Structure 1
């Protein structure tokens, strides 16, 4: 696609990461995930145009992002290049969409620099040519085919939630994980369909309980594919806190998704439970919530 050549300027782009997925699996023979974006987890890309470079350059750590940007310029038949710099608060290899967020933020920075009409569909097309990609180009919760880079369905925003997350250590090779054959049983496939529907209904009715049920179902089904340590301990912790399990299906993160603790007594009880959990496992919690975000406009990405 050719567009009118414009003088490139300094460009900036960003993209949020995730804490795994609400549900992930196969539905009607199509791979899918339902996103769980976390605004505090973010990649920021800074692009300085430099025609002498001839192409977009980056360090070896971000070659995928640079490749996506060069594909973007080629798509628009745009000559020129520059230097890309990426800053991120998203841990690598944890199942938090760090690579997808880097690629998307980088393309947004280059598109901003060259005034290119970048769409979510084009982002998906280019990103999935490089690797399986999360649906983090969308602000709200979506069902997304992460292998083929296709939006399945926009689902909306979640009701108020709190997430108590834990990093179980190590890293997971996402590419290797996605190349594994997913041998779900017929029962599991039916449960994944049910989980998908529960998330849809939970968002439509703003009922967190349905969503907690769905995320727990998906976490349990996928445990045998990317085994998480202390799993039985987490199930007990989830029951004590009245929440549901949430996992990075191809990562090392596992957490408890629950209603926010507004009451002081409830908060104190939660702290006692988590201190005891820490003493037994050595795992320290990381807290996320969307309570403050719901009263504020979404940031521009």
Structure 2
């Protein structure tokens, strides 16, 4: 045993979220600079795993790892995260994954991403952040569907509309998708797959916008029309947290009218008095 360390990236919403046939799925938008980091200090004498009360779910995940691998003893869990809570940025999922990885590192056990996803989904609906790159993931059943690879270079500007969303409660509500919505999800899924394969950001932007518009019927966002107008200026895509409070614009940082676009964005933030998130090449500027 040793002091174990684990980490996991957060997200900025999802590229796509909906259903394929009857299977719920999301396609991740990992943002490595948003991350949760965990430290697990093992204790062979104690039989309990302790930590701060705010980390209840992560502590439960650690206990499940102990049960899965038949580990004995206990320990203390510490978590540090820069991911905002209740915003749809995978803060809870990242905590669970980082905590489980810290336990695995402490005991040198073969904890796979699939095992992590199964355990996490027993605790709550979870994001696919345990897998590398952009993936399609069944967030209800903890099932990895498909890996797509990495996104081409992108810029992203986002806002938080305020408040928080209880993910567990939200996902217990039935989603009323019609036939047209289901066709949209199928098309968006394949656009993401093609866009990443061909490093074509425009296809990815098209897919994210399609999914965001369907989600307006489920969880409408203030400023959506304004973000849609700004997106048209940069020929980008709308990004939303389908069960959260953030939305934004995905765009090619090499567009010819970048200065014009950023001027419009600055004007929007000044008029609405909202606080932006700026992401570029996996760096964040607030």
TM-score by length of 1: 0.91
- 1:63 corresponds to: 56
- 1:76 corresponds to: 69
Which residue among 269, 277, 282 is the counterpart of 1:286? 277
Instruction: Please identify, of 172-181 and 48-57, the stretch whose mean Cα deviation from structure 2 is larger.
Output: 48-57
Q: In the superposition, relative to structure 1, how do residues 87 and 291 fare at CA in structure 2: closer, same or farther (>3 Å)?
A: closer
List aligned pairs for 1:133-172, cutoff 5 A: 133-172=126-165
Q: Deviation digits for residues 198-237 of structure 1, max 9, x if unmatched?
A: 1001011111111000000000001121111011111111
3-state secondary structure, aligned to 2:136: strand
Q: Deviation digits for residues 220-271 of structure 1, max 9, x if unmatched?
A: 00112111101111111111222110000000000000001476xx443233
Counterpart CA distance in 2 for 1:137 and 1:227 is 28
- 1:193 corresponds to: 186
List aligned pairs for 1:253-292, cutoff 5 A: 253-261=246-254, 266-290=257-281
Counterpart CA distance in 1 for 2:80 and 2:107 is 21
3-state secondary structure, aligned to 2:45: helix
* CA positional deviation for 1:80: 1.0
Counterpart CA distance in 2 for 1:49 and 1:28 is 44
List aligned pairs for 1:197-236, cutoff 5 A: 197-236=190-229
List aligned pairs for 1:20-169, cutoff 5 A: 20-169=13-162
Counterpart CA distance in 2 for 1:271 and 1:47 is 43
Counterpart CA distance in 1 for 2:34 and 2:176 is 32
Q: Deviation digits for residues 68-92 of structure 1, max 9, x if unmatched?
A: 1111011111101100000001000
Instruction: Please identify, of 47-56 and 114-123, the stretch whose mean Cα deviation from structure 2 is larger.
Output: 47-56
Counterpart CA distance in 2 for 1:53 and 1:32 is 40
* CA positional deviation for 1:51: 2.5
Q: In the superposition, relative to structure 1, how do residues 291 and 43 fare at CA in structure 2: closer, same or farther (>3 Å)?
A: closer
3-state secondary structure, aligned to 2:219: coil
* CA positional deviation for 1:119: 0.2
Counterpart CA distance in 2 for 1:55 and 1:261 is 53
Does the 8 Å contact 1:34/1:142 carry over to 2? yes
Does the 8 Å contact 2:157/2:248 carry over to 1? yes
Is there any run of 5+ residues in structure 2 with no aligned partner, and where?
none
Counterpart CA distance in 1 for 2:56 and 2:282 is 36
Does the 8 Å contact 1:160/1:291 carry over to 2? no
Query: Number of aligned pairs?
Result: 283
Q: In the superposition, relative to structure 1, how do residues 281 and 207 fare at CA in structure 2: closer, same or farther (>3 Å)?
A: same
Is there any run of 5+ residues in structure 1 with no aligned partner, and where?
1-7, 293-301
RMSD: 1.3
Does the 8 Å contact 2:33/2:282 carry over to 1? no
3-state secondary structure, aligned to 1:53: coil
* CA positional deviation for 1:291: 6.8
Does the 8 Å contact 2:32/2:282 carry over to 1? no
